[in-house]
Amino acid sequence: MSKPKPATNGWIILDKPRGLGSTQGVSAVKRNLREGGYLKTKVGHGGTLDPLAEGVLPIALGEATKLAGRMLDASKIYEFTIKFGEETDTLDTEGAVIDTSNVRPTRADVQAILAEFTGAIEQVPPAYSALKVDGKRAYDLARAGEAVELKTRAVTVHALTITGNSDSAPDNGASVTLTAHVSKGTYIRSLARDIARALGTCGHVTYLRRTKAGPFTQSQAISLDKLNEVSSGAPLKDLLLPLEAGLDDIPALHLDQTDAQAVQQGRVLSDMPQPSGLYCAMLDDVPVALIQISDGTTKVVRGFNLLSDVAE
């Protein structure tokens, strides 16, 4: 019997196909690690992506799971298509049509209204969402035929633009594809609904792709087929991004062995010359901890157990 391969730490960026749930994506990674002969390790995703959506799904392995919460808080970029003339109860192609309209906005109409949906906006999440109402998932209540009333929430749309030349389509005005850079908690299906209504019509999402999640882009994403090669012996290292790839917006702070050991043990460093802020403390090329420096004093925000040569 061959010796198990060591547990690994880092990120796999899955190009999630339509029809696959986020938890199924995590399960696929676990299965490939197991069948590929790797020791068991923690696996989690950095932000749910609906089964009908596709695109960038960051999956954290080992110590990188400690950063999954940061990924949930990160902004995201989506491409999505609104089909005008029909609104469904799920606001996507899965649901039943609940409203229709003969109004078909032009590209110019859409362009003129995008500014109203850029910046800080208020939106009502879809009834078919994972939000809880009186302890129950909204989508469970909606599927049971119960009326679901969700509170308006504040979100931020950093940028909203028309993607490509939508008016070149044969059914001119029937649909438009947009790109949205949004804050956490933004529902693209709600955004599509509200844009359609503001244009004097109704609509629903027929295509949704996440092209960026936090620091991770679709250029880094691998297909499910590529992931499945790991179970047949393909080297995981060729697909894995390092833990610190999830911290590309945070400056690295290189420490010597003594200070790295102190941080590893949760002790405070004083008289640090760096400006106050968040840093990724490193020993050589190994992340030691996410630390906060305040007026020259460090505080460990999140420690990483990656230094086998640092004393406990």
Q: Which residues are catalytic?
A: 50
Question: Could you tell me the maximum CA-CA distance found in the chain, to the nearest angstrom?
Answer: 71
The answer to whether the beta carbons of residues 51 and 210 sit under 8 Å apart is no
Are 263 and 291 in contact, with CB atoms under 8 Å apart? yes
Cα separations in angstroms, 311 against 105, 131, 262 = 66, 44, 10
Query: Which stretches of the chain are DSSP H helices?
Result: 22-35, 68-73, 107-113, 138-143, 188-198, 224-228, 257-264
Per DSSP, the three-state class of 81 is: strand
Rounded to an integer, what distance in angstroms lies between the CA atom of residue 229 and that of residue 112? 47
Counting Cβ atoms within 10 Å, is residue 124 exposed (0-12), middle (13-18) or buried (19+)? middle
Return the structure tokens found at 284.
């050589």
Report the distance separating Cα 47 and Cα 210, nearest Å.
11
Q: CB within 8 A of 237, min separation 6: which ones? A: none
**Is the four-CA dihedral 237, 36, 72, 211 of positive or negative sign?**
positive
Report phi then psi at 137, rounded to 5: -65, 135
